[in-house]
Amino acid sequence: MLSFLGRRLLQLIPTLFFVSLIIFSLQQLLPGDPALVMAGEERDPDVIEQIRKQYRLDQPVPIQYVYWVKGVLSGDLGESMRIKVKVRDLVVEKLPVTIQLASMAIVIALAIGITAGVLSAVLKDTVWDYAANVFALWGRSTPTFWLGIMMIFLFSVQLGWLPASGYVRPSEDFWGSIASTIMPAFVLGNVGAAVLMRHTRGAMLDALQSDYVRTARAKGLFERAVVLKHAMRNALTPVITLGALELGELLSGAVLTEQIFSIPGFGKLIVDSVFNRDYAVVQGVVLVTATVYITLNLLADIAYVLVNPRLRS
């Protein structure tokens, strides 16, 4: 286990190096003089000169990279050009909102995805199986932002049950917070539910055809016990680790969902900084996202080894 962990951590070093290189290189894509582009409306030569100094744009690119990485490693993700706030502070402020949203979404995705997946495997080739497959295809093919808009139309405009946009912190008003995030969480969890359903169904079908399930049935166990205790427990291990990866995907989905529901989280921070041409924030946020994603990946791998005794040696 320890050697596995060591190898897995060592592998992270080149990956993180390339991630930092990609994110740093984004800056090189800016058309024309980056200092001018970063300054935006500002045309004061002093300000432009200051930007050039601050980002060391007057120095060779490799040196710029070294300084940038040095900053990142000491926790300095740069500063917002527009609102003059440290990117780190922005991240710390916005991330909890997105974590709340993503956690709710993953619960919804797991609940729907696993239930539908198990049901469709157990009831293979029935109407239920067919319906679950249609649901999975629908989930994969529906753009989240459209689903969000349609849900706002139905539940906010037509029925008036839920607020169309905005966010309430759970510390202020718990139920208000749930009401403000349940629709976006469902929209966000929808795609994940479809992915999880397909994997659960596949894993369950394999498990139901396995020898140990046949043995369990032969022992005369009730079908319910066979499905819930024998088949499901084995089938769900890979699905749970997949859930951790889905959580990373949710960060991506949160960009659009938060935009539609005006939720001041991480995703909206990216979009706002793109609109404001606040490039340092875009870079910082992408870096944090990648780090979170890589960490979740690592945890998923470790969890997979932990729950799978055959891999533990």
Partner 1 sequence: MADATLTAPLLDDAAAPAESPVRRALRRLVRRKGAMFGLAVIVLFVALALCAPIVAPYDPTAQSWTSVRKAPSWLHPLGTDDVGRDILARIIFGARASLLAGVISVAIALAIGVPLGLVAGYVGGFLDAAISRLTDAMLAIPFLILAIALAAFLGPSLRNAMIAIGVTTTPIFVRLTRGQVMAVKVEDFVEAARAVGNPPRRVVLVHILPNILPALMVQASLSIAAAIIAEAALSFLGLGQQPPAPSWGSMLNAAQRFLVNAPWMAVWPGVAIFLTVLSFNLLGDGLRDALDPRER
Give the nearest distance from C-beta 251 to partner 1 in angstroms.
Answer: 5
Three-class secondary structure of residue 229 per DSSP:
helix
DSSP for residue 70? H
Distance CA 90, CA 283 (A): 13
Considering the rule CB under 8 A, would residue 65 count as an interface residue with partner 1?
Answer: no
User: Based on CB atoms, which residue is closest to partner 1, 137 or 306?
Assistant: 137
How big is the CA angle at 110 (ends 123 and 225), to the nearest 5 degrees?
A: 45
Tokens read off for 93: 């402020």
- Does residue 157 interact with partner 1 by CB under 8 A? yes
- Residue selected from 4, 8, 19, 76 as contacting partner 1 according to rule CB under 8 A: 19
Q: Torsion angle, CA of 149/98/269/188, rounded to 10 degrees?
A: -30
**Selection from 71, 60, 58, 88 nearest residue 20 by Cα:** 71
Among 40, 71, 96, 143, binds partner 1 (CB under 8 A): 143
CB of 75 to partner 1, least distance (A): 20
Q: Which is nearer to partner 1, 48 or 298 (by Cβ)?
A: 298
The reply to whether 175 sits near partner 1 by the rule CB under 8 A is: no
For partner 1, the binding residues in 26-45 under the rule CB under 8 A are 26-27, 29-31
The Cβ-side half-sphere exposure at 78, using a 13 Å CA radius, reads 24
Instruction: Classify the phi-psi angles of 37: left when phi > 0, otherwise alpha if psi is within -120 to 50, otherwise beta.
Output: alpha
Is 55 a binding residue for partner 1 by CB under 8 A? The answer is no
When binding is defined by CB under 8 A, the residue of 150, 225, 228, 311 that contacts partner 1 is: 150
Under the rule (CB under 8 A), what is the footprint of partner 1?
A: 14-19, 21-23, 26-27, 29-31, 137-138, 140-143, 145-146, 149-150, 152-153, 157, 164, 248-249, 251-253, 255-256, 259-260, 270-271, 274-275, 279, 282-283, 286, 289-290, 293-294, 297
